[in-house]
Structure 1
């Protein structure tokens, strides 16, 4: 099933495009076809509502072109490292610490939220605000997921280590595992090369496999404001007209 629609770029409608740095709107765009099956709910698109039932692909998604089909899909360049912190044994008290590249956090509560873990990591001298994106939790029932961004985006970083002083429960412990290693692109289907960005939010009907879109391939982009983090210094690109800014 395909969902083809006219592509209209409204220069005055910039509320959904904080990543667009150009003072003159979207600059040069091309009409393209998206392979909707390669976009992930919650990451690349959100479900519609009862009043607006079409699903919405986020504006600013970096795109690559699938060589075999000519369709566009999410850019799959250098990956960010993802590490998971898990507290087991249902403790009822105590704390733990995380160590990253020789720097150790202050004590983190046994029942910490993602925000508390993020704050503890960003207090380290080698992790700046924005260098980690932390989700999940709270402990001990749910693991906390740490994605390295900022200066570590696309890097194969050392795995953190954990040390716990946990009490209660049954043999409580804390452990760190690398669930996705950072580094070079693993894709070889063409999407490892950045072709540009989805210029505006794009609607598609549930069940659609293809949809129309507008590709920004010449313009100015705030890299840090794109909905999918990436490091422009690691980008292989066929869109040499895109200039990246940091803010």
Structure 2
């Protein structure tokens, strides 16, 4: 993996840990950081040694505390739409990543930072984390998928409350509303993430990729998630993982997925 200016990529056993590394800016997302993340995500998707991906921020304060507002100055409408589309490409790559993606939310996740976390499949937060979409305070709306993903996670009414007030919620409230899967103390955050991923690594790589794909299909208004499930279920029956999984179950042993 090449050297990046704004992110750090480390492979720990079978897990790729990607840290947004702009601590002095509270890890704010600028265009260069988004470009580096897109490049890293594309490369890691092709790396067969990597079974899962973790996104987190450097330092104890922030996951990503929003977009870099300096970049917004003097942009035309067309340039703003181009920037939004550029961010959407990253979020869509994460959402459709064929391996588990966990956001380790280690502090503030605001604006583009919360949108980045929501694009991940699972979110585990440290107890000090705070989340929100404060764009209305700038006369804006979320531009990296937040208007669509937040209602999917917390429901329309809570999403609108958060977006229209621009106020933050704490980790406990985020957990109550289903925005994060679990809340732990910051010092054990990565340990918790690795523990969950290791449970997944013991399962079929093919089945995990298929499940991610079919679940995402159900959120696409142009596709029929139920039909996709039927087709994918049938496809699994032809896989080596299925044969090994069933054999292991009948023989009362742990499966050895290749």
User: Do the two structures share a fold, i.e. TM-score over 0.5?
Assistant: no
Give the TM-score band, short-chain normalised.
Answer: under 0.3
Q: Which has the higher contact order (CA 8 A, sep 6+)?
A: 1
TM-score by length of 1: 0.22
Structure with greater proportional strand content: 1
